[in-house]
């Protein structure tokens, strides 16, 4: 490029920084040229020899815009002393003379061929990366494993099934009620990850007990790469301080948002905090959510006569959220009324009458038998009697269900939905899930000290925790459980031991005693500690070298915490509620526990503690096996139980016999009735294993690493080998900040192996769904990188100078995000290879083969070639667009069919329920009809978009 090419007043564009807009030559001095960029209000000086600039010359028929915003169509062009004069019209017959000096500086060369003509083209590698990105995105979006690949979790069938079944729904509202230890938090995390990854949800609120806030924060980040922001009292106090600052002190802080819930996409807060602040409640309601999660939802009290303030608040928040996930104890542990209260939050239209719900439960066993026969024999193989029952239950809707793609599953779903807890309740039992350890109860009878007998506190409820009503120094000295604890811990050393007792005061006293008097390393863990203090205690306990041997927990303080790396549990006292016993054991007895769990149970002879131990052991078998019927049994034998703990020992044999009998009866009833019906819907093994196989296929392939290696090369990221399956990624000399989101300045150690990621939390788990990988893909598709490229190729069969155009098309469908049309109409990349005569050579020269044959052209040579081949390129672009157009209609028809298949059943469901439930409003049905109509309209406007071109010149 020599000096004579530049003339003051000419318009040029920088192909290294397109954001500058259209530049104008303002000075030429020696071997340097200076351009002003009015759009960016900047001036740049370049060495003429290697200036990254391209001359902008508009062709006849192209539209131009002047600096005052007027638009014209070019009719003729004249070169006057090196500066172009355009003769253009604005739709009238009069031609205007427009010097290029007067052209607007705001230009957008978004079309691939426009970028090529403007000199904004890339090397071959960038085009290959763009093509690969589109192909991978389309493949992944069509995969049944989408949204489930990126979590740092084991592939457990029941968790994968629930996550897929729930997360693929529009605005899911479900109750996750797996038994203790089956991983409800992971299930919720998988659902959140899927919904956020697929853009089905953008705004999420998680509400948990205060003790679980930090655990949720860490778990969501570590396992799912979800960065939640905690909203608490400190956040509001800081906001009040900011609002009080003057403009001079800090203008930005003074303008802080008034509603912190609106400023966060992923918000995490405690229910305790919300209940303490009416302002926070109002802000949370006003913010609006795509999805809300409530953990430990069984603590929300409700009855037909009254609801607790906490329940009413969650009910209001649930109404302000499209989707809702409730994590709760199993239904039989909380009672029918409490269980109904949870369901009422999820679907008030379906669950509006408690008595009707009670009556409905009586039908479960009958429905279960029919459902089982449908699954075994198929819909056509069932008896006339069963067919009549289906007609009675489903009415005229049965005909539409029989015509569904999978009639058996459609009929079963409708039965579960109309006559059970339907698709809103997921509950897996330990009996159905393999892989749990054995439990080994180790009781120790100890003499009751006179200290307790004299005070009469060895009987009644007080007898369970008599130490709480006497002097601390006295019970520490006289209660034989203390000396037994010290001796037992010494004998178990160095094994980790979790000690649980009912009250924080007991936990603190024991920890102080063990630490200072017995010389045993221990840590206390109770509700009076701050979240940070609790986390420190947990970390101190988990440290295998210098950590505590024993963690002394209170009942409330340990709720929701998991310590499966330990396998010794000491129950310093016993709770009155069987559910609490199951929760205590569940801290260790979880999926992932590899050892038999030793449950040490010291109790005082001849007291309430001995009665309670025998009731749990002989009446419920609650130590050796998971017990989900304990609360129900307790309700049935409450009188006998109370008499026994009050000292009427003669009542104990009858209590144990009645409890054992009732527990067995309830277990059989649940197995044949509600449990079986719910479990049909909670895990279909064949579906779960197919999903896991699909995930493993994605992981076993080296595609994600190969893709990222290519991307790192193009984007200037250096890659160093770390170890087997692991690399270190660091920004290199050519790296441009912001090109790769989630890339720390000092680099990132990554592993491509799930197993290694589970063992090494210090390594980032690279998958197609890691934010760094999705960030690279987003960077490629949203930028001009690889949109236009020029290459050379030598083929004996083609004469030198022959031109080919490789084009990449994708489907473009502008629509509101809420419609989530990408579910039905993916990008569907279409690759075409054409020559100047319009021949389609795509099959003759596939993309991979063509890549091997192409080589880069030096930029200076390429810049000289482009103006010469512009007419042929424009012709080939037209040919490619004509060949691409017929591919759109089949995609559009398929998407329309899927949309109708999703919205149609929901509309029919609401219409069917409205006939028996006046609480269903017409506007609820109208909403889905409007959504369907809007989706159909948007899909009818879908078009193909040219996303990239590579022009190949034969040498």
Residue 796, H or E segment: none
Q: How many angstroms separate the CA atoms of 55 and 6, rounded?
A: 9
pLDDT over 70, % of the chain: 93
Per-residue pLDDT tens over the stretch 774-788: 999 988 988 888 999
What CATH superfamily is the domain 155-352+683-696? Tandem AAA-ATPase domain (3.40.50.10810)
Q: Tell me the pLDDT band of 420, cut-offs 50, 70 and 90.
A: low
pLDDT value for 333: 54
Residues 499 and 600: beta-carbon distance below 8 Å: no
Residue 245 reports pLDDT greater than 70: no
Q: Which candidate, 169, 144, 168, 345, places its Cα nearest to that of 906?
A: 169
The arrangement of secondary structure in 441-666, i.e. its CATH architecture, is 3-Layer(aba) Sandwich (3.40)
pLDDT reported for residue 692 = 94
Which pLDDT value is given to residue 482?
97
Residue 347 tokens read as 């679907």
Predicted confidence (pLDDT) at residue 940 exceeds the cutoff of 80: yes
Per-residue pLDDT, 350: 76
Residue 817 has a pLDDT of 67
Exposed e or buried b per residue across 203-240, where buried means at least 16 C-beta atoms within 10 angstroms of its C-beta: bbbbbbbbbbbbbbbebbeebbbbebebbbeebbeebe
Rounded CA-CA distance 657/636 in Å is 13
Look at residue 286 in the predicted model and tell me its pLDDT.
Answer: 95
Q: Is 183 annotated as a binding residue?
A: yes
DSSP H helical ranges for 328-459:
331-334, 336-346, 354-361, 364-377, 384-394, 397-402, 407-419, 450-455
pLDDT attached to residue 357: 80
CATH 3.40.50.300 segments of the chain: 441-666
**Among 810, 818, 781, 824, which residue's Cα sits nearest to residue 939?**
824
Query: Which residue in this structure is represented by tokens 């949204």?
Result: 147
User: Comparing 732 with 679, which gets the higher pLDDT?
Assistant: 732
| Band (548; pLDDT cuts 50, 70, 90) | very high
For residue 252, pLDDT beyond 50? no
Of 19-23, 342-346, 793-797, which one has max mean pLDDT? 342-346
Query: What is the structure's pLDDT at 1?
Result: 43
Which of 147-161, 323-337, 542-556, 925-939 has the weakest average pLDDT? 323-337
Q: Which helix (H) or strand (E) holds 24?
A: strand 22-29
Q: Is the pLDDT of residue 254 over 50?
A: no
**Residues 281-309: pLDDT tens digits?**
999 999 999 999 999 898 888 888 889 99
Mean pLDDT of 367-387: 84
Give the pLDDT confidence of 734-765 residue by residue, as tens digits: 887 667 777 888 889 999 999 888 878 788 99
Q: Cα separation of 769 and 117, whole Å?
A: 36
pLDDT (0 to 100) of residue 907: 84
Quote the pLDDT of residue 76. Answer: 92
Beta-strand relationship, 803-812 and 943-954: antiparallel
- Predicted local confidence at residue 251, as pLDDT: 42
| CATH top-level class of 125-136+697-782 | alpha beta
Q: What is the pLDDT of residue 247?
A: 44
Enumerate the β-bridge partners of residue 831.
Answer: 808
| 439-446/597-604 β-pairing | parallel
Question: CATH 3.40.50.10810: which residues of the chain?
Answer: 155-352+683-696
pLDDT band at 255 (very low <50, low <70, confident <90, very high): very low
Average pLDDT of the chain? Answer: 87
Say yes or no to pLDDT of 246 above 50. no
CA distance 412 to 286: 38
Highest-confidence segment of 168-177, 243-252, 268-277: 268-277
Residue with tokens 């995490």: 268
Residue 185, annotated as binding a ligand = yes
pLDDT of residue 249: 45
Within a 10 A sphere around the Cβ of 104, how many other Cβ atoms?
Answer: 17
Is the Cβ–Cβ distance between 575 and 548 less than 8 Å?
no
For helices 771-782 and 703-715, give the axis angle rounded to 10 degrees: 50
The Cα–Cα gap between 331 and 177 comes to: 7
What pLDDT does 598 receive?
A: 97
Range(s) for CATH 2.30.30.140 in the chain?
3-108
Neighbours of 391 (CB within 10 A): 13
What SS3 class is residue 421?
coil
User: Which residues touch 167 (CB under 8 Å, ≥6 apart)?
Assistant: 147, 190, 191, 194, 195, 198, 200
pLDDT tier, 560 (very low <50, low <70, confident <90, very high otherwise): low
Residues 64-85: tens digit of each pLDDT: 999 988 999 999 999 999 999 9
Predicted confidence band of residue 864 (pLDDT cuts 50, 70, 90): confident
Taking CA 492 as the corner, what is the angle to CA 486 and CA 498, rounded to the nearest 5 degrees? 75
Is the separation of the CB atoms in 76 and 60 below 8 Å? Answer: yes
Q: How far apart are CA 705 and CA 766, in angstroms?
A: 8
Cβ atoms within 10 Å, residue 79: 10
Angle, vertex CA 441, rays to CA 439 and CA 447, nearest 5: 165
Residues 589-608 have pLDDT tens digits of 877 778 999 999 999 999 99
Angle at the Cα of 654 from the Cα atoms of 652 and 655, rounded to 5 degrees:
60
How far apart CA 253 and CA 163 sit, in angstroms, is: 40
List the structure tokens of 560: 């929701």
Residue 182 counted as an annotated binding residue: yes
- Per-residue pLDDT, 248: 45
Of 90-99, 241-250, 454-463, 895-904, the one with minimum mean pLDDT is: 241-250
Does pLDDT of 846 surpass 60?
Answer: yes
- The single residue listed with the structure tokens 């009413």 is 312
Residue 909 near residue 417, CB atoms below 8 Å: yes
Q: Residue 880's pLDDT is what?
A: 96
Is 180 labelled as part of a ligand binding site? yes
Range with the largest mean pLDDT of 100-109, 421-430, 817-826: 100-109
Task: Establish whether 817 is an annotated binding residue.
Answer: no
Confidence at 922, pLDDT banded by 50, 70, 90 = confident
d(CA 560, CA 295): 9
Fold of 3-108: SH3 type barrels. (2.30.30)
How far apart are the C-alpha atoms of 180 and 328, rounded to whole Å?
10
State the pLDDT confidence band at 680, using cuts at 50, 70 and 90: low
In which band, very low, low, confident or very high, does the pLDDT at 673 lie, cut at 50, 70 and 90?
A: low
State the residue for tokens 């340097």. 32
User: Is residue 655 a known part of a binding site?
Assistant: no
Q: Is there a contact between 607 and 450 (Cβ–Cβ < 8 Å)?
A: no
pLDDT recorded at residue 30? 86
Question: Cα–Cα distance between 358 and 215 in angstroms, integer?
Answer: 37
204 labeled binding residue: no
pLDDT (mean) for 235-245: 74
| Burial (Cβ within 10 Å: 0-12, 13-18, ≥19) of residue 183 | buried
Q: Judge whether 179 is annotated as a binding position.
A: yes
Sign of torsion over alpha carbons 424, 428, 432, 435: positive
* Tokens 């090494």 -> residue: 760
Q: What is the mean pLDDT of residues 893-908?
A: 87
């Amino acid at each position: 490029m020599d000096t004579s090419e530049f003339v003051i007043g000419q318009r040029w564009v920088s192909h290294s920084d397109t954001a500058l807009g259209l530049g104008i030559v303002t000075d030429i001095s020696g071997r340097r040229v200076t351009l002003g960029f009015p759009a960016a209000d900047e001036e740049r000086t370049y060495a003429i020899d290697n200036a990254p600039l391209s001359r902008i010359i508009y062709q006849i028929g192209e539209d131009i815009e002047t600096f005052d915003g007027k638009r014209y169509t070019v009719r003729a062009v004249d070169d006057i002393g090196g500066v172009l004069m355009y003769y253009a019209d604005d739709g009238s017959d009069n031609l205007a003379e427009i010097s290029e000096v007067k052209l607007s500086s705001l230009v957008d060369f978004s079309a691939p061929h426009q970028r090529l003509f403007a000199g904004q083209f890339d090397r071959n590698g960038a085009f290959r990366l763009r093509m690969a990105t589109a192909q991978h995105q389309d493949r992944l979006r069509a995969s049944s494993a989408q949204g489930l690949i990126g979590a740092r979790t084991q592939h457990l069938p029941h968790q994968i099934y629930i996550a897929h079944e729930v997360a693929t729904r529009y605005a899911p509202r479900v109750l996750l009620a797996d038994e203790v230890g089956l991983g409800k938090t992971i299930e919720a995390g998988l659902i959140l990850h899927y919904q956020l990854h697929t853009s089905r949800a953008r705004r999420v609120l998680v509400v948990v007990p205060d003790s679980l806030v930090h655990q949720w924060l860490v778990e969501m980040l570590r396992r799912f790469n979800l960065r939640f922001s905690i909203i608490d009292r400190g956040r509001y106090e800081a906001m009040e301080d900011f609002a009080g600052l003057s403009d001079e002190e800090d203008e930005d802080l003074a303008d802080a948002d008034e509603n912190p819930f609106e400023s966060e996409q992923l918000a995490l807060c405690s229910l305790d905090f919300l209940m303490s602040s009416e302002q926070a409640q109002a802000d949370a309601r006003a913010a609006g959510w795509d999805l809300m999660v409530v953990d430990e939802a069984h603590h929300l009290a409700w009855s037909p006569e009254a609801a607790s303030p906490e329940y009413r608040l969650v009910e209001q928040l649930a109404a302000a959220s499209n989707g809702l996930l409730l994590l709760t104890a199993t239904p039989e542990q909380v009672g029918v009324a409490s269980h109904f209260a949870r369901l009422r939050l999820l679907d008030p239209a379906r669950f509006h009458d408690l008595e009707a719900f009670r009556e409905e439960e009586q039908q479960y066993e009958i429905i279960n038998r029919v459902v089982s026969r449908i699954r075994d024999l198929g819909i056509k193989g069932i008896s006339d009697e069963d067919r009549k029952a289906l007609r009675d239950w489903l009415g005229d809707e049965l005909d539409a269900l029989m015509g569904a793609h999978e009639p058996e599953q459609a009929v079963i779903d409708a039965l579960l939905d109309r006559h059970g807890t339907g698709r809103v309740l997921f509950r897996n039992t330990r009996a159905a899930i393999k892989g749990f350890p054995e439990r080994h109860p180790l009781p120790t009878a100890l003499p009751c000290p006179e200290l307790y007998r004299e005070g009469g506190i060895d009987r009644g409820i007080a007898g369970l925790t008599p130490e709480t009503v006497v002097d601390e120094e006295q019970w520490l000295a006289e209660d034989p459980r203390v000396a037994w604890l010290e001796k037992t811990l010494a004998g178990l050393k160095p094994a980790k031991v979790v000690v649980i007792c009912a009250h924080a005061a007991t936990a603190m006293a024991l920890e102080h005693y063990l630490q200072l008097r017995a010389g045993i390393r221990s840590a206390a863990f109770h509700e009076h500690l701050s979240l940070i203090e609790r986390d420190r205690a947990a970390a101190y306990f988990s440290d295998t070298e210098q950590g505590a041997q024993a963690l002394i927990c209170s009942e409330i303080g340990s709720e929701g915490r998991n310590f499966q790396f330990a396998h010794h549990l000491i129950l310093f006292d016993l709770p009155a509620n069987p559910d609490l016993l199951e929760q205590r054991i569940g801290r260790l007895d979880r999926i992932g526990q590899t050892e038999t769990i030793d449950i040490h149970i010291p109790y005082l002879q001849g007291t309430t503690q001995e009665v309670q131990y025998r009731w749990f052991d002989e009446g419920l078998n609650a130590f050796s096996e998971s017990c989900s019927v304990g609360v129900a049994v307790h309700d049935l034998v409450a009188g006998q139980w109370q008499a026994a703990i009050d000292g009427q020992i003669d009542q104990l044999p009858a209590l144990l016999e009645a409890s054992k009998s009732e527990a067995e009866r309830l277990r059989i009833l649940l197995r044949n009735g509600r449990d079986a019906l719910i479990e049909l819907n909670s895990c279909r093994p064949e579906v779960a294993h197919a999903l896991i196989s699909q995930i493993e296929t994605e992981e076993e392939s080296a595609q994600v690493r190969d893709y990222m290696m290519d991307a790192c090369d193009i984007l200037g990221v250096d890659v160093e080998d770390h170890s087997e399956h692991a690399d270190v990624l660091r920004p290199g000399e050519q790296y441009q900040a912001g090109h790769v989101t989630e890339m720390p300045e000092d680099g990132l150690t990554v592993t491509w192996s799930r197993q290694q990621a589970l063992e090494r939390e210090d390594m980032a788990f690279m998958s197609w769904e890691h934010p760094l990988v999705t960030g690279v893909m987003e960077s490629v598709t949203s930028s001009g990188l690889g949109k236009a490229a020029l290459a050379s190729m030598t083929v004996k069969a083609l004469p030198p100078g022959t031109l080919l155009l490789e084009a990449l098309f994708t489907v473009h469908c502008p629509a509101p995000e809420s419609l989530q049309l990408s579910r039905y109409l993916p990008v569907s990349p279409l690759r075409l290879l054409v020559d100047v005569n319009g021949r389609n050579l795509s099959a003759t020269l596939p993309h991979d083969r063509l890549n091997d044959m192409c080589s880069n052209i030096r930029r200076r040579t390429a810049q000289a070639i482009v103006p010469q081949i512009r007419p042929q390129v424009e012709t080939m672009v037209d040919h490619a667009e004509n060949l691409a157009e017929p591919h759109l209609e089949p995609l559009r028809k398929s998407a329309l069919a899927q949309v109708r298949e999703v919205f149609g059943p929901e509309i029919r469901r609401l219409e069917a329920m409205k006939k028996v439930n006046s609480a269903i409003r017409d506007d609820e049905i109208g909403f889905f009809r409007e959504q369907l109509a809007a989706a159909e309209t948007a899909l009818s406007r879908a078009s193909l978009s040219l996303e990239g071109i590579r022009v190949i010149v034969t040498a």
